[in-house]
């Protein structure tokens, strides 16, 4: 397998990117890497990592797209950027997958314009995999499409199903429609109309509406919604978890010595919880519906997060999810 | 002040309702109550509470609206229900406020049809007050209007502002637009258009977009959004907090004795957190924009929650928020 890596994407690039690649090379023997970025900068970084093997090719790219730039403009103008060059490697079938921790907007725009959509796909969807209480769950879409039509959400369901089945190895993943009521007739125009389509759609284990209250249990594998709601869920999850852990910390600090002793004893528990909620364990968010394996890693990814996103790309590739999505959606188109 | 109480609304009615009223009578001297419901049932309950004063009037109502009924149908057909009778007391100016813990849908429909909107208000909004890390925050709307237009959200901002200012006593409450990006141009059609209106609206301390990640800090007082997004925020907050506390509990139980000792020492900390997140402390959610003080209490309210919702009705009344909303919105209409 050949993976293209945007060497300059993310808060900790290029150090974390190159480190993640070197970690991955120690773990997976059958991957070749193409790292894009200014040749001297990437070379310097490889030297620091003491890498001397032949499984990394540097693809020189002089420009970098920052998170402050207008995504579409940046993709159109900066043809020599590390992101565009990495995407082109997939477009030209020189690589099987592409990975970036840079600007989400630019990555999505670049996947659409350079890699292109799968025939029949109306809107590709950003689909992070989140830690739930009982199992991980996927949100399709988490922000790529803020205004949606019911037929987009039906495709989200199929793409999410194929990914969850192939990569998370669940035979018949459950599909839920995020809605503010459990009953069929509840919700807004979009969810009411989508419910009717999903109910009659073949090949989906559609379990009905799922209220946001029940999302984090992880009892439903794939949750479909428009990108505005999906992004709200994603960020409420992060925000509430962080608020709550901060409140616990504040309360402990403001109470007497006893509580501090208690906190000390509970340290391993909190550590294990932190690990459970750690995005680094899950890799990145695949952008499903484009004609290639395109994975958006978290902006603040460190080496370990990159390594896990590389593992995820490999699972995506080995399980032939891309081919299955194509079959599924081209058939229906 | 005279308050109408739906004696049969909520999971614990009529016991919790009557108990809450009796608790409130001990705390506030200047309130008279009108409890609606089957006369014998309410009488029986008052007897159990040993109430013998003259500040409670029972208004006989033979029917009860359940949460399973179609809200609009129920309001139209069950004229002799405890909810309809309570709402009519406000409509006929025999009471200054109405309180129910019954079906949210039926309550909202009843407020619209029986109590009626304030002149100039396009859509009334359900506005729960939530505990944030640094301060309580309000969500306008939390589920009454699932499909919104930008001009509704501008009115939500004004109504929320008047309530927060009057009842939560903050001179110039900050108003934020819930959005999936901080920048002005981010979001969906609704938020982009709403931003432009709010930016140019006079008399609002509009601070711009607030990402869902930052909602729970409580740093923004009033958060406006459509009812689908607002309800999602509300339920994600409840769901995530509950999931996280359950995970902490599970982790403690699955670890050794040390962690259990730690948990024991931390008990007061968790108790204080539970109190901080307790909806019972905050009363209910006012339905702003209707021509009366209408408060929806939580379905699982106990006596204490009812007492607090009664206190909230009194603060609403004393602070003349209803009159201020009328002035504000009639002026602009």
- Of all residues in chain B, the one with the smallest CA distance to A276 is B247
A245/chain B closest Cα distance in angstroms: 9
Query: Are B96 and B3 within 8 A, CB to CB?
Result: yes
Measured between CB atoms, does B128 come within 8 Å of chain A?
Answer: no
Instruction: Determine if the peptide bond prior to B14 is cis (ω within 30°).
Output: yes
Query: Which of B104, B22, B70 is CA-nearest to residue B286?
Result: B104
A212/chain B closest Cα distance in angstroms: 5
**CATH class of the domain defined by B2-121+289-332:** alpha beta
Measured between CB atoms, does B220 come within 8 Å of chain A?
Answer: no
What residues in A contact B231, CB-CB < 8 Å?
180, 212
Instruction: State whether B212 and A244 contact (CB < 8 Å).
Output: no
Going from N- to C-terminal start, the domains of chain B cover: 2-121+289-332, 129-235
Same fold, A2-121+289-321 and A127-279: yes
- Of all residues in chain A, the one with the smallest CA distance to B245 is A244
Q: What ipTM was estimated for this complex?
A: 0.91
Lowest-confidence pick of A16-20, A275-279, B216-220, B296-300? A275-279
Measured between CB atoms, does A248 come within 8 Å of chain B?
Answer: yes
Instruction: State whether A247 and B273 contact (CB < 8 Å).
Output: yes
Beta strands in chain A, from DSSP E residues, in sequence order: 2-6, 32-37, 56-60, 97-100, 125-126, 129-130, 137-140, 174-178, 205-210, 222-224, 285-288, 293-296
Measured between CB atoms, does B243 come within 8 Å of chain A?
Answer: yes
Dihedral of CA atoms B134, B135, B140, B142 in degrees, nearest 10, equals 70
Chain A / chain B CB contacts < 8 angstroms: 172
Query: Are B168 and B136 within 8 A, CB to CB?
Result: yes
pLDDT at B66 over 70: yes
Instruction: State whether B251 and A272 contact (CB < 8 Å).
Output: yes
Q: What is the pLDDT of residue B333?
A: 67
Q: What is the pLDDT of residue A333?
A: 66
Q: What is residue A95's DSSP assignment?
A: -
Measured between CB atoms, does A172 come within 8 Å of chain B?
Answer: no
Query: Are A100 and A296 within 8 A, CB to CB?
Result: yes
pLDDT at B281 over 80: no
Lowest-confidence pick of A9-23, B54-68, B249-263? B249-263
Q: Which fold has domain A2-121+289-321?
A: Isopropylmalate Dehydrogenase (3.40.718)
Q: Cα B102 vs. chain centroid, distance in angstroms?
A: 12
Which B-chain residues 267-286 have CB contacts (< 8 A) with chain A?
A: 268-270, 272-273, 276
Exposure of B247 in the CB half-sphere (CA atoms within 13 A):
26
Q: Which residue has the higher pLDDT, A197 or B260?
A: A197
Q: What is the pLDDT of residue A136?
A: 94
Measured between CB atoms, does A244 come within 8 Å of chain B?
Answer: yes
What residues in B contact A231, CB-CB < 8 Å?
180, 212
pLDDT mean across residues, chain B: 94
Lowest-confidence pick of A236-245, B106-115, B129-138, B169-178? A236-245
Measured between CB atoms, does A178 come within 8 Å of chain B?
Answer: yes
Which residue, chain included where needed, has tokens 């693809």? A59
- Of all residues in chain B, the one with the smallest CA distance to A252 is B269
pLDDT tens per residue across span B74-119: 999 999 999 999 999 999 999 999 999 999 999 999 999 999 999 9
Q: What is the pLDDT of residue B161?
A: 98
Q: What is the pLDDT of residue A279?
A: 66
How many Å apart are CA B284 and CA B279, to the nearest integer? 8
Summarize the confidence of residues B50-56 as an average pLDDT: 95
Measured between CB atoms, does A239 come within 8 Å of chain B?
Answer: yes
Q: What is the pLDDT along chain A (333 residues), one digit of tens a residue?
A: 999 999 999 999 999 999 999 999 999 999 999 999 999 999 999 999 999 999 999 999 999 999 989 999 999 999 999 999 999 999 999 999 999 999 999 999 999 999 999 999 999 999 999 999 899 999 999 999 999 999 999 999 999 999 999 999 999 999 999 999 999 999 999 999 999 999 999 999 999 999 999 999 999 999 999 999 999 999 999 888 888 888 887 887 777 777 778 778 778 777 877 777 776 777 899 999 999 999 999 999 999 999 999 999 999 999 999 999 999 988 776
Summarize the confidence of residues B223-230 as an average pLDDT: 98
How many Å apart are CA A30 and CA A18, to the nearest integer? 17
Q: Cα A246 vs. chain centroid, distance in angstroms?
A: 26
Measured between CB atoms, does A3 come within 8 Å of chain B?
Answer: no
Measured between CB atoms, does B73 come within 8 Å of chain A?
Answer: no
Instruction: State whether B259 and A247 contact (CB < 8 Å).
Output: no
B322 φ, ψ (degrees, to nearest 5): -60, -45
Query: Are A324 and A162 within 8 A, CB to CB?
Result: yes
pLDDT at B279 over 70: no
How many Å apart are CA B12 and CA A291, to the nearest integer? 55
CATH number belonging to domain A127-279: 3.40.718.10
């Amino acid at each position: 397998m050949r993976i293209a890596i945007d060497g300059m994407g993310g808060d900790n690039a290029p150090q974390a990117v190159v480190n993640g690649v070197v970690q991955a090379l120690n773990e997976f023997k059958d991957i070749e890497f193409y790292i894009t970025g200014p040749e001297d900068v990437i070379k310097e970084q490889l030297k620091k990592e003491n890498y001397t093997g032949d499984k990394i090719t540097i693809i020189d790219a002089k420009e970098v797209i920052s998170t402050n730039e207008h995504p579409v403009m940046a993709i159109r103008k900066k043809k020599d950027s590390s992101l565009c060059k990495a995407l082109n490697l997939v477009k030209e079938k020189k690589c099987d997958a592409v990975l970036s921790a840079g600007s989400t907007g630019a990555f999505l725009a670049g996947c659409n314009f350079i890699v292109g959509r799968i025939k029949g796909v109306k809107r590709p969807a950003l689909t992070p995999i989140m830690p739930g209480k009982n199992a991980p769950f996927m949100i399709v879409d988490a922000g790529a499409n803020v205004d949606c039509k019911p037929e987009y959400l039906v495709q989200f369901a199929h793409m999410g199903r194929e990914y969850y089945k192939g990569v998370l190895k669940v035979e018949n993943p459950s599909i839920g429609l995020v809605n503010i009521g459990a009953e069929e007739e509840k919700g807004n125009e979009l969810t009411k109309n989508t419910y009717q389509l999903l109910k009659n759609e073949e090949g989906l284990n559609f379990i009905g509406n799922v209220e946001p209250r029940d999302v984090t249990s992880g009892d439903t594998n794939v949750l479909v919604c428009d990108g505005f709601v999906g992004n709200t869920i994603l960020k409420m999850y992060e925000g509430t978890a962080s608020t709550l852990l901060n409140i616990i910390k504040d309360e402990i600090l403001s109470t007497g010595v006893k509580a501090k002793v208690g906190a000390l004893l509970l340290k391993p528990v909190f550590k294990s919880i932190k690990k459970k909620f750690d995005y680094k364990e899950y890799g990145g968010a695949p952008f499903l519906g484009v004609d290639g394996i395109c994975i958006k890693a978290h902006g603040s990814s460190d080496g370990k997060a990159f390594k896990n996103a590389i593992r995820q790309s490999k699972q995506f590739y080995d399980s032939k999810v891309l081919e299955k999505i194509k079959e599924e959606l081209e058939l229906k188109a």
